[in-house]
Amino acid sequence: MADPEKGAPAPAMEEDIDEEDVEDVEDEEGGGERKELVDKLMKDPQVLAALQTKLRRYLGTPSGYISSLPVAVKRRIKALKKLQLQYTDLEAAFYKEVHALEVKYDKMHQALYEKRRHVVTSEYEPNDEECDFPSDDETDDEKNLCKDMDEKAKIDEKDENKVHDFDENTKGIPEFWLTIFKNVDLLAEMVQDYDEPILKHLIDIQLKFHDEPMGFTLEFHFSENEYFTNKVLTKYYEMKCVPDKDDPFGFEGPEIFKCKGCTLDWKKGKNVTVKTIKKKQKHKSRGAVRTITKTLQNDSFFNFFNPPPVPEDPNEEMDEDTQALLTADFEIGHYIRERIIPRAVLFYTGEALDDEDFEEEEGEEGENILIGY
């Protein structure tokens, strides 16, 4: 991320005050924001499900029945485990081929995504044949009735009933991606009110696959705006598709394990990811008061491009807060890749949201839903 913009320094005191001799008088914002974010994430059922799966994998204890078996039977069990390991290796090879197939078809998808972008940004106006797509269960009579009602609505429509400022002269589909973000709970929770004017400039989200190492990049394309100079913001995700040597039977397919954001070149005074607060400090013995200025991280969708770093050493343990943030980040990245980009128009209209609710209900029956291929 770009360096936070610093507030103007407070007027200096006549004497320097030792930091150990002062106490905070007031803190307009205070700390605890990170803890609040983690608490919020830990209440997310999808995040909890992912953590519970990990816990079951590492905390599961074998039955005493196995340890009581004869040596000859245990020997045969080892042979079966060796066969199971071979199956796991084949499964990893299978997922790699699935990824290669996905990359192959993605090249075909790109042509459709490009046409979608042209329509959304008004670079192309679809003809009557391309727009001939009836609503669900809509008969010819109903279509004609809808046309009549639309004409009447144009005449009778009152300003107070409007939910937007669009009319028949509107070009493209304004606020297409912002509307999607606001429709999807997972993304809506990230978007603050002050993010929305910026996200109105989001004109496309593109997906780029990578083979070696396996992974993908999300590209967020923006029109020229008053907030930052970047035309494209990127988020890179690296995946692994190799069984863990220490837990080979825990392999469940490709897994995101690392991500990297990008630097936003904010224009002066427009960085919504930081906030400036002023604190008064009072000298413990002399009673002198000084005002200092601090910059703190601010809740914003654009923190998505500044994820916490993943340790290079795979054996290095991460603190719980970092682990929770990365778990949520990986889920969001995967969701945008697997759901949002391929089915954007259905999330815009809300039709895909009904499918999402149905899948969640199925998951509540006790079945774990695997995030992956």
- Write out the H or E segment, with its range, that includes residue 147: helix 140-156
What is residue 171's predicted lDDT score, i.e. its pLDDT? 92
Q: How far is CA 298 from CA 27, 87, 276, in A?
A: 15, 48, 9
> What is the rounded distance in angstroms from the CA atom of residue 46 to the CA atom of residue 4?
32
Q: Is the pTM above the cut of 0.75?
A: no
Helix or strand or coil: residue 34? helix
With beta carbons less than 8 A apart as the criterion, state whether 227 and 267 touch. yes
Sign, CA dihedral 92-94-98-99, equals positive
The CA-CA-CA angle for residues 247, 248, 251, to 5°, reads 100
* Structural contact between residues 221 and 207, judged by C-beta atoms closer than 8 angstroms: no
Supply the pLDDT for residue 248.
83
Q: Are 264 and 1 contacting, i.e. CB atoms less than 8 angstroms apart?
A: yes
Cα separation, 300 vs 48, in Å, equals: 23
45-59 and 320-335 helices, crossing angle to 10°? 120
Coil, strand or helix at 362: helix
Q: Is residue 310 within 8 Å of 33, Cβ to Cβ?
A: no
Residues in the chain: 373
Instruction: Give residue 213's pLDDT.
Output: 86
Per-residue pLDDT at 186: 93
Instruction: Please report the pLDDT score of residue 58 as a whole number.
Output: 52
Q: Which strands sit side by side in the sheet containing 232-240, from one edge to the other? A: 202-210, 215-222, 232-240, 255-260
Buried b (16+ CB within 10 A) or exposed e, 247-258: eeeebebbbbeb
For residue 102, the model assigns a pLDDT of 87
β-strand pairing of 202-210 with 215-222: antiparallel
Compute mean pLDDT per 10 residues along the chain, 373 residues long, and list them: 44 46 49 62 65 58 78 93 91 87 89 95 92 68 50 49 76 95 95 96 95 90 97 94 80 82 95 87 74 87 93 77 90 94 95 65 42 40
pLDDT of residue 365: 44
Question: For position 370, what pLDDT does the model report?
Answer: 38
